[in-house]
Chains A and B, each alone.
Chain A
Amino acid sequence: MRSWRTGVLLFSPLLLVLAGAFIVPLILLAPTSFREYQPGMGIVAGSFTLQNYVRIVADDYYREVVLRTLGLGVGVTVACLLLGYPVAYLIVRGRPGWRLPLTLLVIFPLMLNLVVRSFGWIVLLTNRGVVNNLLIDVGLIEAPLKLMFNVTGVTIGLTHIYLPFMVLMLVAALQNVPRDLEAAAATLGSSRFHVFRAVTLPLTAPGIIAGSILVFVLTISALVTPRMLGGPTYQVMATLIYDEYMQLLDWPSGSALSFALALATLLIIWISSRMTKRWAGLA
């Protein structure tokens, strides 16, 4: 009981900030999301409609944006996982001399501004960018590949930006796997690959899940990178919300979309924390 109360007290400053900065505005937005919006007239006072929510699933355009956002989230998460696991493994299990340089390499991008990093990718990925020029010069392709203003560019940019988070989560998970367990499996006849599959991978599952949630949630709520690398036509939920508010001034629809996004995020966190608990119960 006592420790519970201590916990609440320790958390209360953070809870207050979160409540003030996120929860209160969200609740204030709730009534707006049920208002009717008439183009050119604005919000109809005193109206009540569910249309803003229905549209998210019923309207083809909205549904496409939602599915695209979720797809992007899955794609970036998988890419971060596939690229990040080997790096994390090398940091934890590789030569001690590589540890610091590799860790710095992973963390360094975090020190650069998001906009700068996205611009970097524009320089690399445009039609006359570094990558296309190189491929053409080498003779692999004749016409430039379309790497920007589509899903490819956004996936590359977001993967790069969220990779450090995934790697850091995986490093923490790998450091928790005692080396004796891997040694024990080896003496019992496991090849290096089997040691990894039967011991290391299951024991890092909680870290994999935690890292994946983090990257997924960050991806589906990302605004700057999809806007810069996706251009004006490649819409995801965050850019759509931004446009509804700032361009169309359709606050009710934007609010409804915000709520849908927040709800999806919470749902995903809830499901995966249940999964983690089941894994961690064994690990």
Chain B
Amino acid sequence: MSNLTLDHVVKRYSSVTVVKDVSLAIDEGEFVSLLGPSGCGKTTILRMVAGLIDPSGGTIRIGDRDVTRLPPNKRNIGLVFQSYALFPHLTVHENVAFGLRRKGQSGAALDARVGEALAMVRLAGYGERYPRQLSGGQQQRVAMARAIAPRPNVLLFDEPLSNLDAKLRDEMQIELKRLQRELGITTLFVTHDQAEALSLSDRVCVMQDGVIQQFAEPETIYRRPATAFVASFIGKPNRLAGTIRGGRVALDEQLELRSESDLSGDGRPVEVFIRQEAISLAASGDESVNRIAGTVALRSFSGPQVKYVVRIGSDQELVVEAPSSGPAGDLAPGQPVMLEVHPQDVLVLSRETAP
């Protein structure tokens, strides 16, 4: 077990740069997710760490060893693929034993380690089967057992759960987290599912176009996004245009909101993000909150939640979520409403950083 460091790593394909100067330090035993939209370079980074792609620049370190130029078989890593990549011509037992045999293990010691790894993913007794005789979830667990059996220094996952159905994915997430905790192996996990990233990780690294946008704890990513991109990518935010005016953010001539974000620089054009779930339709009587008057324009029912599109100010709209069983579950279009938003939920970010 050791830490993983990427130092100014760059990857260029002839004319395009797909990973631009990425620096990342992952602590020993830490679980870090790489989160970002499709094509932002997540897989490329993961494969550079694995040694399957040569970086165009920068250094990659595992523990205190510079592995940048080492072939994959010299790096002592475990990689779990989206496609599972189990060896179809080998039994489950032999698949899991593959890495152990490469490390010179054999006989009873090998069998014990394979049994241990299979027990960890709850597949004890499946050793004699072939991969094609297993379900997708079971194959995924064999892939995990195969990766952890040789006790790698670093575990790498490339969207390992995206081929599973929603229910199985939830189960596997918990399983994966438990396994990683038990083993304490430094883990880099690639996903484009934000809920997965937020719930599994110690820290999340949000990327866009080959650049790290923010690297922080899940709570921080969610509550204090560093850039407009992160704010718009995480959760379901309302995105509004505004201007800084006298220590407040103005959405138009009349409507001004208080915020806990940086409000310096009078007249600066900004983007304002307010999450759907942070807007309340119930009057709290609290004087410190923002009040916004509006009219319901649209109502959409989805079981436990109702969504409203509320017209505010002169020409802006907010999407608001409310519990359908509550007092605000039954508003008709055209009805005037008073919205409340806590200043800490009004995120103000410079417009330049917007994509």
Chain A interface (Cβ within 8 Å of chain B)? 178, 180-181, 183-192, 194, 198-199, 202-203, 282-283
Contact = CB atoms under 8 A, between A and B. Distances in A.
A183 B85 contact: yes
Contacts of A187: 50-52, 72-73, 75, 77-79
Contacts of B130: 282
Given A187-B50, A187-B79, A282 B102 contact: no
A183 B143 CA distance: 13
A204 to B, nearest CB: 11
A194 B76 CA distance: 16
A283 B89 contact: yes
Contact of A188 (B51, B83, B150): B150
B88 A189 contact: no
Contacts of B75: 187
How many of chain B's residues touch chain A, expressed as a range? 20 to 34
| For the complex of A and B, 9 pairs with smallest distance between CB atoms | A189-B102, A188-B99, A180-B85, A186-B72, A184-B85, A187-B79, A282-B89, A189-B73, A187-B72
A181 B52 contact: no
A49 B267 CA distance: 112
17 contacts: A183-B52, A184-B79, A184-B86, A185-B87, A185-B98, A186-B52, A186-B71, A187-B73, A187-B78, A188-B102, A189-B73, A189-B103, A189-B150, A202-B89, A203-B88, A203-B89, A283-B88
Interface in B78-105: 78-79, 81, 83, 85-89, 98-99, 102-103
Interface of B: 47, 50-52, 71-73, 75-79, 81, 83, 85-89, 98-99, 102-103, 130, 146, 150
Q: Majority SS of interface residues in chain A?
A: helix
A183 B87 CA distance: 11
A188 B52 contact: no
Given A181-B88, A184-B146, A187-B50, 7 more contacts: A180-B81, A184-B86, A186-B51, A186-B52, A187-B79, A188-B102, A188-B146
Contacts of B146: 184, 188
Nearest to B82: A180
B72 A199 contact: no
Nearest to A199: B87
A190 B130 CA distance: 21
Contacts of A185: 87, 98
A66 to B, nearest CB: 36
A283 B90 CA distance: 9
A203 B88 CA distance: 8
A97 to B, nearest CB: 12
Contacts of A188: 73, 78, 98-99, 102, 146, 150
B73 A190 contact: yes
A74 B77 CA distance: 44
